[in-house]
Amino acid sequence: MNKVLILDIDGTLTNSKKEITPNTIEALLELQRKGHTIILASGRPTHGVKWISDILQLERYGGYVLCFNGARITKIGTNEIVYQRCFPKECIAPLYTYAREHDMGLVTYEGDTVIAATRIDEHMEFEARLNRMELRQVDDFVSYVDFDINKCLFTASVDVAPELEQDLVKRYENALSIYRSEPFFIEAMPPGVDKAASLEHLFRNIGVAREDTVACGDGFNDMSMIRYAGVGVAMANAQEEVKKVADVITKASNDEDGLLEIIERYF
């Protein structure tokens, strides 16, 4: 029976150096040769996952990329957006004002470019470098963003980010999904977006039963899909709360090819 393997990227598929080891690459290619499907599920923008989908040959084997934590799913072979939740445009101006008032950075994404609303800082540079994207500041962010976006990202110093996150959560309780993905990153997403909700929509459309899925992750934004999948896997290096909701915890970490034992056991 063909199955679906859903993989978070950072801390799961890649090691601490943000690399995929040759052993893991070969195992994932062999899995697809046998007829199974891979879905990459990440908070990254779509362009930031392209080099990984290329290495794993998802275009050849009909894989999918779930980006922005579920706000967009793309079928790699056809480049078709099969599911999308767009950022509410009425929230862009007040978020920009909030960032200016609280000395925060703010970015969004356009194709292969990270668009900065405020002065460029080291955290924006990290985001652009991680995703192999260009970084460009625009003069009038609110007017510039006249196209559909899936996410805005705040940057803030680590000592004030938790307080700012909680303030934003209260302000936008029903209008946006707000959470911190790194000590210095605060994500702003369309309401109700998470990896599980998007996967459920996709599987309903392509006729996949959740019992035939295995989802692997390590972070808080992976918990919904770990709970949802037929088999939910937490990496050995996962946060403790993530391990609590998983069906299986790998013996090896992401730096020790931890995915190999899951591939061998379930595929």
The string of pLDDT tens digits covering residues 87-109 is 999 999 999 999 999 999 999 99
Per-residue pLDDT, 71: 95
**Does residue 8 have a pLDDT over 80?**
yes
User: In this predicted structure, which of 66-75, 173-182, 210-219, 247-256 has the lowest mean pLDDT?
Assistant: 173-182
> What letters, b where the CB count within 10 A reaches 16 and e where it falls short, cover 2-25?
ebbbbbbbbbbbbbeeeebbeebb
Tell me which H or E stretch contains 245.
helix 240-245
Pair of tokens at residue 222: 């992976």
Per-residue pLDDT, 189: 93
Q: Beta strand 105-110 with 152-155: parallel, antiparallel or unpaired?
A: antiparallel
Cα gap 226→77, rounded to integer Å: 26
Per-residue pLDDT, 1: 77
Q: Beta strand 4-7 with 213-217: parallel, antiparallel or unpaired?
A: parallel
The class (CATH top level) of 89-189 is alpha beta
Pair of tokens at residue 216: 């692997």
Q: Name the band, by pLDDT with cuts 50, 70 and 90, for residue 168.
A: very high
For residues 74 and 82, the answer to whether their CB atoms sit within 8 Å is: yes
Cα gap 59→79, rounded to integer Å: 9
Average pLDDT (214-243) is 95
**Does residue 2 have a pLDDT over 80?**
yes
Per-residue pLDDT, 164: 97
Q: What is the largest CA-CA distance in the chain?
A: 55
pLDDT digits (tens, 9 = 90+) for 22-69: 999 999 999 999 999 999 999 999 999 999 999 999 999 999 999 999
Percentage of the residues of the chain whose pLDDT score is greater than 70: 100
Cα gap 204→57, rounded to integer Å: 24
Enter the pTM of the model.
0.91
Cα gap 27→237, rounded to integer Å: 20
For residue 40, what are the β-bridge partners? 7, 65
CATH of domain 4-85+193-266: 3.40.50.1000
Cα gap 261→257, rounded to integer Å: 8
Q: Mean pLDDT for the chain?
A: 96
Q: Name the band, by pLDDT with cuts 50, 70 and 90, for residue 179.
A: confident
**Does residue 220 have a pLDDT over 90?**
no
Average pLDDT (165-194) is 92
Pair of tokens at residue 148: 């559909």
Q: Kindly list the domain boundaries of the chain, sorted by start residue.
A: 4-85+193-266, 89-189
Average pLDDT (71-98) is 95
Average pLDDT (6-28) is 96
Determine whether 80 is exposed, middle or buried from the number of CB atoms within 10 Å of its CB (0-12, 13-18, 19+).
Answer: exposed
Average pLDDT (218-222) is 90
Cα gap 204→187, rounded to integer Å: 27
Average pLDDT (111-128) is 97
